[in-house]
A and B are shown apart, each in its own frame.
Chain A
Amino acid sequence: MTLSRRNFFGIMAGTGSMILGRTKKATAWESKAPDNPYACLVDLTRCVGCRKCEEACNQANHLPPPDISFDDKRVFDTKRRPDDSRYTVVNRYYGGKKNEQDELLPTFVKIQCMHCQDPSCVSACIVGALTKKDNGAVHYDVSKCIGCRYCMVACPFEIPAYEYHNPMTPQVRKCTFCFEKISKTGGRPACASVCPMEAITFGPRKKLLDIANKRIHENPGKYVHTIYGEKEMGGTSWMYLSAEPFESLGFQKLPLAPPPKLTETIQHSLFSFLWSPILLYSVLSGVMCLKNKDDKGGSHES
C-alpha cells in the first residue's frame, strides 16, 4: 500500500488523537454550523442531464468558455470533476435501473462544493480565507489566501481547485453558492434558478429536509430512504435524493461526524492552557541550560 498524502495526515491525526485522548480531557468541541442556512436539495430522479446548470454557472462566475459546448452530450462519456474553470459538472451514471426494453437508465449527478455545515476547508485554512457564512455559503476571500492549498487536502469531497496555470495571481476556485446572489432577498444560485426540472430546490435547510422527507414518504418505492448530505460530514448545505444507492452514483461513503471535530479537538487539546508550548519551551530551555553549561568549558578551547 502506498501512503498518500491524505492517508498520511489521517494516520498522523489518528495516532495523535489516540495518544492525547488518553493523556488529557479536552474541552468539548462545538459545531459552528449556522442554524438554518440556505441549502439546495438535488433530486437526482428529476435531472435530465441538460447541463443548463453548468452553463449558468459558467456565465454567472465569468468562467472561460468550455472546450466542448454545453449542448454536447458526449461529455457524459467520461467522468468529469469540477476544476478551476468549472465549478460544477454533471456526470452520467448507470446505476443499474433498466426500462422495459432492458436498456440501462442513466442517472445524472451534479457535483459541486457541498458547502458543509462544518467545513474541513475552513478548519484547515490557516489564514481565515475560507469562512462558513450564516447564509450557508463556504466563502473564499482571495485577499487573505496565501496559496497553501491546505483546503484542497482537507476537503473530503475533493472540490477546491487551484489555478496552477496562473503563477502570478493564483486562486483557489470552487463553487461560491452564488454568495452575492443569495445574500440578497429572493436571490437564488444560478444553477438552481436555471434548472428546467427544478431538480435543484433552493431554500432553508430545515425546510428542504422536510421536503426531502416528504418526497420519500410519498414515494417510498421511488427513492432510497437516505438524504445524502443530511448527516454526512456533519451535514452539508447541498443534499441529494436518489432512486439508486448513492454508492453506485459516485458518492463516497463518508463518516457522519464532521472532520473538524476530530482535528480541532486534537489541536485544541494540544494548545489548551498552553500546556504543550509551555512544556515544549521548558524542555527546550532545560536543554539550552545544559548545553550552555557544557559550552562554557569548550569555548576556551576554540
Chain B
Amino acid sequence: MKSKRWTGVKSKIYALTILSALSFSFFFSVSNGNAANVNKALKQDKPENWVASDQNAAMERSQERVPLIINVKMEKPGERRNRLIGVLSMKDSEHRYFLLNSPIIKKDNDLYGPVRFMHNKHMIVSGDCTTCHHYRPEGNNTSETVRCRACHQEAFHPDIPERTGLKAAYHLKCLGCHKAVKKGPVNCTGCHAKNVPDHGKLVQLTGKPKPSDVTKECLRCHQSSAEGLSTSAHWLWRGPSINTRGREKEISNGKATNTMNNFCIALSNNWPRCTSCHAGYGWKDKNFDFSDRTQMDCLVCHDTTGTYNKTPQDAGMPDPSVDLIKVAQNVGKPSRQNCGDCHFEGGGGDSVKHADMNSTLFWPNRNCDVHMGGYDFNCHECHKTQNHHIRGRSTSLPVAEGGFTCEACHTENPHSGNELLDYHLNKHTQTIACNTCHAPLYAKCKPTKTFWDWSKAGDKKRKPQKDKYGKDDYLWKKGEFRWKESAKPEYAWFNGNVERYLLGDTIESMNHLKITAPVGNFRDPQSKIHPFKVMRGVQPVDPNTRLLLAPHLYGKGGYWKTLDWDKSFKSGMTSVGLKYSGEYTWISTEMYWLINHEVTPKNMALSCATCHTSFKEALNHPLNQSVRTCNRCHQDNRDINFEKLVEQGIDFQLLQQRGRDSQSLIDSTDYINFKALGYKGDPIIYGGRFKKLPLGWKQ
C-alpha cells in the first residue's frame, strides 16, 4: 500500500523540476534501494481463516440459551459448603474460561463488551464452589452446579420476582465478593470495556480538515483525555523512571531526553524521522510545543478503519491521502493494529528491535501467543490505561506509567489441571518468571536483529549478503547486522530494576558497556529468573569525555548524507547539549530486552527435562527405572508415564520440521544454565537457592 504511495511521491518528484533540498534527499535515499529503510505499512487485514480458538469457543458458549430452572433446592450455605467440600474439585470444571456475554443481558441495553471470566482461577482463589454455585436445581439427579444463567435469566420474572436477573446476579455476586475480599475490579471498566458510541453522527467535520482540526473536534468532547495525554509518556516521550537504579526520583528520562540504545542510538537531531512514531503532529525539532494539545494525534491510536497512516519521515504527520473525516467518524478502542503499527516496527522495521513483538502478533497462531492468538486480547487489556497513561514498563526505556505482572491475573499459583505437576510448577513461580518457561524462544516467527556494528558503516561498495532468513547483513548507512529467528533467550536474575546508561553518563570501562542490564541476583528473594534478548552492538564513543556518542543520522547534515562521522557527532551531541572532543572510537555494547510477549500455552512451554538434566539423564539411562528422580520423595507405585510427564512441553524437533530455526536446540538440557545463574547445578540434585532438599538424598 505504502509502496504505491512511494511510487506516487517519486513520480511527483520526477515531475517537479525544482526540488527542495529535503525532498531531493528523500528521493535520493529511496532510489538507493534501501529496502530496510522503507517503512512498509504493517497493518494487516484479518486473514479469512484466522480464528482465536478459545475466544471463539467461549463466545459460542455465551450465546447458548438454557431452559430456566424455576425451582431450586434451598439449602443453608454452610451446610451446602460442608457437603460439597472434597466432593467437587477442579476436575469437575468443564471449561476454564467463559465470556459473560449472554443475549439475556443485552436485551434492553448493550453498553459494555463481554467480560472475560477465568472460571478455574476463581475456583482456586475462592476455594469454595458454593460461593457462586449457591443453590442447586430441585430434584434428585440434578447437577450440583449449573451455569449462572440456568437460574438467573430475565429480571422481574413474574413467577420468581424475588430472584435477580442474570445481569444483577453477576454484578451482585462479583462485586460483593471483590469488595469483601478486597481483590478484583469493582469499577465498570475493570471487567468490561465500554462500547464506543457511533461517532459517525457525533463528528462534525466537513471539507478537508487539517490533522489539528480533527484533534480540535475530538477535544470538543474529550478535554479530559487531552489533559491525561498531555502528561503521558506517549506524548512527552519522557517521564518518571522509578525502575532505573539510581534514578528512581527523576521524572524526565526517556527517548525525548536521554535514552540511548544500540540500534539507531538516540533521538539527537533526527526528529522528523524518529518522531514519525510520535502520537502528535510536527515534532520536527527541539522547539515542538508540548502544551499545544491541538497537535495531539488521536487517530493513530483510535483509528478502526485501518486506513490511517503516518508518513515515515514527516514528524508524525499523517499521509496526505488519508481520509481524516472517515477515520474520525470511525474511532474506537485501540486494537493490536493501532499499537502494533508503531511498536511492532521498533528500530525502523518489522521485528527489528523487540525480541517478542512483530507483525505476526496482528493475527497470531495460538502457539505463537496464547493471549492474542487464543483469546484475542488487545494490548490495552493487559496494558490497562487510566487517563491515557498506559501501564507497563520495559527494560529498554526508563519511563514507566505503572506496571503489572502475570500474577495480577493468574495469581501466584497459576498452574492447575495436573495434580502431579501443579505443586511443583507453582513452587517454580517463586523463582522463575512466567515467561522463562512460557516464552522458550523469542522472535519465533520473524527474525530480529541481534547484532549491529556501526563501525562498518559507510562502505557504499560493499554488497549486502542475504543470510538464511533472506535478511541483508549489511547496509552502508547503518553497518553490519546479524539476525536471528527462533532464538534462545539469555537468562538472568531480575527484580524489576534496571541498570541503565543514559546520555551524558560517563563510561567506566572503554572495552565494554551494558546500556541496560537487569538488576537482581541469586540471593535476592525479589529476583526471579527472566528471559532476555541481549542485543549486542558496536557503536561510537568519545574516548576523551568517555561519553557514548549520539550521532545525527537523518536529514540535512546527517551521516546518511555526509558519511562524515565527525560532523554527525558534532551536530548530534550539540543538539543534546553535550561536549564532543572531536575524537571518536568504537565500543562494544550490550542491551537487555526483557521478553514479555509471545507467551506460549502450556503445550509449548519448556518441559521439565529441558532444564533439569537429572530428568534427561534418567530418561536416557539404559535402566531408567532404577534412576531415582520423582520417586526420591514420592514413595508411591502409581502407574505413571514418567517420560511423558517430564517431557511434555515444547518440542524443538517438531518446530524445526515446521520450518523454524530451532535445529541447534533439539535435545538440549540445562536450558537456562543453572551454573551461570549461581546454582551449583541442577536444583533437583543440589537444592534451590534458599532451601535445602528435604530428604538429604545424595547422588
Chain A: residues with CB nearer than 8 A to chain B? 46, 48, 50, 52, 56, 188, 192-198, 201-203, 207-208, 211, 214
B162 interface hit (Cβ, 8 Å): yes
A/B interface sample: 8 pairs, CB < 8 A: A48-B175, A188-B108, A188-B155, A188-B156, A193-B155, A196-B167, A202-B155, A214-B162
B171 interface hit (Cβ, 8 Å): yes
Interface residue from A56, A188, A196, A208 paired with B168 (Cβ < 8 Å): A196
Q: Please give me the 9 A-B residue pairs with the lowest Cβ-Cβ distance, nearest first.
A: A198-B168, A193-B108, A196-B171, A198-B164, A203-B161, A211-B162, A194-B109, A202-B156, A197-B171
The smallest beta-carbon distance between A56 and chain B, in angstroms, is 7
Report chain B residues within 8 Å CB of A214: 162
Cβ–Cβ contact B108 & A211, under 8 A: no
Report chain A residues within 8 Å CB of B158: 203
By beta carbon, the residue of chain B nearest A48 is: B175
- 18 further contact pairs, Cβ within 8 A, besides A188-B108, A203-B156: A46-B172, A50-B188, A52-B109, A56-B109, A188-B155, A194-B108, A194-B109, A195-B168, A196-B167, A196-B171, A197-B172, A198-B164, A198-B172, A201-B161, A202-B155, A203-B161, A208-B161, A214-B162
Report chain B residues within 8 Å CB of A197: 168, 171-172, 175
By beta carbon, the residue of chain A nearest B168 is: A198
Report the bound CA distance from A46 to B173 in whole Å: 11
Report the bound CA distance from A235 to B168 in whole Å: 27
Report the bound CA distance from A50 to B192 in whole Å: 14
By beta carbon, the residue of chain B nearest A196 is: B171
Interface size class of B (residues with CB under 8 A): 10 to 19
Report the bound CA distance from A198 to B167 in whole Å: 8
Report the bound CA distance from A34 to B679 in whole Å: 82
Per-position contact with A for B159-190: 1 when CB-CB < 8 Å, else 0? 00110110110011001000000000000100
Report the bound CA distance from A56 to B155 in whole Å: 17
Say whether chain A's binding surface is mostly helix, strand, loop, or mixed. Answer: mixed
Report the bound CA distance from A196 to B162 in whole Å: 16
Report the bound CA distance from A169 to B91 in whole Å: 68
Contacts A56-B109, A188-B108, A193-B108; A198 near B162 (Cβ below 8 A): no
Per-position contact with A for B463-478: 1 when CB-CB < 8 Å, else 0? 0000000000000000
Report chain A residues within 8 Å CB of B684: none
Report the bound CA distance from A43 to B161 in whole Å: 14
By beta carbon, the residue of chain B nearest A72 is: B224
B111 interface hit (Cβ, 8 Å): yes
Report chain B residues within 8 Å CB of A52: 109, 111
Per-position contact with A for B127-167: 1 when CB-CB < 8 Å, else 0? 00000000000000000000000000001101001101101
Chain B: residues with CB nearer than 8 A to chain A? 108-109, 111, 155-156, 158, 161-162, 164-165, 167-168, 171-172, 175, 188
By beta carbon, the residue of chain B nearest A59 is: B109
By beta carbon, the residue of chain B nearest A198 is: B168
Report chain A residues within 8 Å CB of B109: 52, 56, 193-194
Report chain B residues within 8 Å CB of A202: 155-156
By beta carbon, the residue of chain B nearest A208 is: B161
Report chain B residues within 8 Å CB of A192: 155-156
By beta carbon, the residue of chain B nearest A190 is: B108
The smallest beta-carbon distance between A191 and chain B, in angstroms, is 11
By beta carbon, the residue of chain A nearest B154 is: A186
The smallest beta-carbon distance between A29 and chain B, in angstroms, is 32
Report the bound CA distance from A214 to B156 in whole Å: 16
The smallest beta-carbon distance between B305 and chain A, in angstroms, is 26
Cβ–Cβ contact B161 & A198, under 8 A: no
By beta carbon, the residue of chain A nearest B152 is: A198
By beta carbon, the residue of chain B nearest A38 is: B156
Cβ–Cβ contact A201 & B156, under 8 A: yes
Report chain A residues within 8 Å CB of B108: 188, 193-194
Report the bound CA distance from A197 to B161 in whole Å: 15
Contacts A194-B108, A198-B155; A207 near B161 (Cβ below 8 A): yes
Report chain B residues within 8 Å CB of A194: 108-109, 111
By beta carbon, the residue of chain B nearest A193 is: B108
Report the bound CA distance from A50 to B167 in whole Å: 14
Report the bound CA distance from A208 to B165 in whole Å: 15
Cβ–Cβ contact A211 & B168, under 8 A: no
Report the bound CA distance from A291 to B666 in whole Å: 126
The smallest beta-carbon distance between B182 and chain A, in angstroms, is 10
Report the bound CA distance from A56 to B111 in whole Å: 10
Report chain B residues within 8 Å CB of A48: 175
Report the bound CA distance from A195 to B172 in whole Å: 11
Report the bound CA distance from A237 to B559 in whole Å: 80
By beta carbon, the residue of chain A nearest B189 is: A71
Report chain A residues within 8 Å CB of B167: 196, 198
Report the bound CA distance from A211 to B175 in whole Å: 22
By beta carbon, the residue of chain A nearest B112 is: A196
Report chain B residues within 8 Å CB of A207: 161
Report chain A residues within 8 Å CB of B155: 188, 192-193, 198, 201-202
Report the bound CA distance from A198 to B168 in whole Å: 5
By beta carbon, the residue of chain B nearest A46 is: B172
Report chain A residues within 8 Å CB of B188: 50
Report the bound CA distance from A56 to B165 in whole Å: 18
Report chain A residues within 8 Å CB of B111: 52, 194
Report the bound CA distance from A159 to B168 in whole Å: 28
Report chain B residues within 8 Å CB of A50: 188
The smallest beta-carbon distance between A205 and chain B, in angstroms, is 12
Report chain A residues within 8 Å CB of B164: 198
Report the bound CA distance from A188 to B161 in whole Å: 13
By beta carbon, the residue of chain A nearest B172 is: A197
By beta carbon, the residue of chain A nearest B107 is: A193
Report chain B residues within 8 Å CB of A208: 161
Report the bound CA distance from A59 to B168 in whole Å: 21
Report the bound CA distance from A197 to B176 in whole Å: 10
Report the bound CA distance from A195 to B109 in whole Å: 10
